[in-house]
Structure 1
Amino acid sequence: MTEAKNWLVTGGSRGIGRAVVEQATARGDRVAVFARKPASAQWTHPDRVVEIHTDIADPDSLARGVDIVFERFGSLDVVVNAAGVHRGGRIGDLSRAHWDEVIGTNLSGAFELARNVAPRLDAGSAIINVGAVVGFRGFPGDVAYGAAKAGLHGLTQVLAVELAPRQIRVNLVIPGFVDTDMTSALTGRARERILAAIPMGRTGLPEEIAQVVVGVADSPYMTGSVVATDGGLMSSFSSRR
């Protein structure tokens, strides 16, 4: 029987992060969940979940959270950076405050998380960042989110190279348009336009992305990879350029 792993999932109380937590705990692993708000629904395996109130945009809060995880678990095998915030607006409309909020959570938070956990990870550990198609393909009104997710791609590439000598893997999973609280705000023409661009003709499910995250976590020779799980959305955008 495979030995249980210890996970840390940011943004784990909802959406893709929560789906990752559920799939990891279903196979017997333990998961520490970083979230600013408690999970709204009961966990399927509550005895394998430790919720830690943490704001990853706050370096001090994040550092305290990481300390708690290692005090509870002793070690970590998989770190999933799924926390994210979206603030829409074209460059002429987006406020600087919203820009700073998006960059602070989606990019700077990922950097601080990696900086705090990397020195304590053992060989064979994995860091998985959750990106977005808009980090590779432009979409009007996503200037902050797109910039943050593009930066997350660059961060993943550099960390993969820096940490490879220690046999720590760093990869980027790219969800497409997934049914979550974040995307539920999109309605009308914006939603129709995105759906029309998805070759598979439907939105994704958090559970489908989580399956890929778990698979990447278990892949011992994968690092620096970009794994799109988007129903063909990136291919569609590329072919229409």
Structure 2
Amino acid sequence: MSNSPKTWIVTGGSRGIGRAVVERATADGDRVASLARGVSSTPYSFPDQVLELKTDITDRDSVDRAIAAVTEEFGTCDVLVNGAGVHRGGRVEDLSRDSWDLVLATNLTAAFEMCRATLPLFDGGGSIVNVGAVVGFRGFPGDVAYGSAKAGLSGLTQVLAAELAPRNIRVNLVIPGFVDTDMTSGLSERARAKIVRSIPAGRTGTAQEVAQVIVDVAAATYMYGAIVPADGGLMNSFSGGQ
């Protein structure tokens, strides 16, 4: 990746970590296609550098339309960030099959489809950064669907890193810890306090902190198949519990 302006595709770019990635990339002078189910509720800091595309990443036709729009507008892609996600909690005996299917479709299958659809836009190489979760490596009761999807995303990252390295496309996985976003806002204060107590850093993270790691990983030219935590030490201390 050269120092010239780059083109990014970011799923889940309207809020949370995805939004922070869009802001960080455009602040560096890059241009970004932001894919999300809805448009951002607040203006981007550099709107002229953002192509906002309403996209259902679980629908292949919707993804194809978005990639066609990116191709027409930018013609290329240097970085793909698979940041979109959805969470449905429930233990194995309680979780509905519909919730399971939605979580797997959004967090795992959609990332696969985005990688496959974007490949023709990588002209001479680039970077794919998948956004995982601690629960994909450390089991937590009630997260059977989300943990399974994020563990699968780790496997997808490892395989694609090996497959795409000869094409100079680097595929890596960033693992956010507990970050204050819309996805985590529904947790009870009791659950939140329990998680924070298990974080060695003693606090939650911010979307901006994770976005900085994603940008750094995207720029790392000799990193293939890496698992990079941005979690305040949670991966090392997380033991689940009852």
TM-score by length of 1: 0.97
Q: CA deviation at 1:64?
A: 1.3
Give 2:53's aligned residue. 52
* 2:168 aligned with 1:167: yes
Correspondence for 1:84: 85
SS in 2 for 1:173: strand
Q: Which one-letter code corresponds to 1:60 in the other structure?
A: D
Whether 1:230 and 2:236 are equivalent positions in the alignment is: no
Q: Distance in 2 between matches of 1:237 and 1:107?
A: 23
Corresponding residue SS for 2:185? helix
TM-score, length-scaled by structure 2? 0.97
Q: Deviations over 1:105-132 (max 9, x none)?
A: 0000001101111233123300000000
Answer whether contact 1:135 1:150 (CA < 8 A) is retained: yes
Describe how 1:109-120 pairs up with structure 2 within 5 A: 109-120=110-121
Q: Which residue in 1 is equivalent to 2:23? A: 22
Deviation at 1:176, TM superposition (A): 0.1
Name the SS for the 2:66 alignment partner: helix
Match of 2:127 in 1: 126
Counterpart residue number, 1:94? 95
What's the CA shift string for 1:134-170, capped at 9, x where partnerless? 0000011100000000000000000000000011000
Runs of 4+ in 1 over 6 A off after TM superposition: none
Q: C-alpha separation between the residues in 2 aligned to 1:111 and 1:223?
A: 17
Mapping of residues 189-200 of structure 1, within 5 Å: 189-200=190-201
Aligned length: 240
CA distance in structure 1 between the partners assigned to 2:10 and 2:189 by the alignment: 32
Residues of 2 paired with 1:234 and 1:2: CA distance? 33
Q: What amino acid maps onto 1:237 in structure 2?
A: F
Pairwise CA RMSD: 1.4
Conserved? CA contact 2:130–2:172, under 8 Å: yes
* Structure 2 residue runs without a partner (length 5+): none
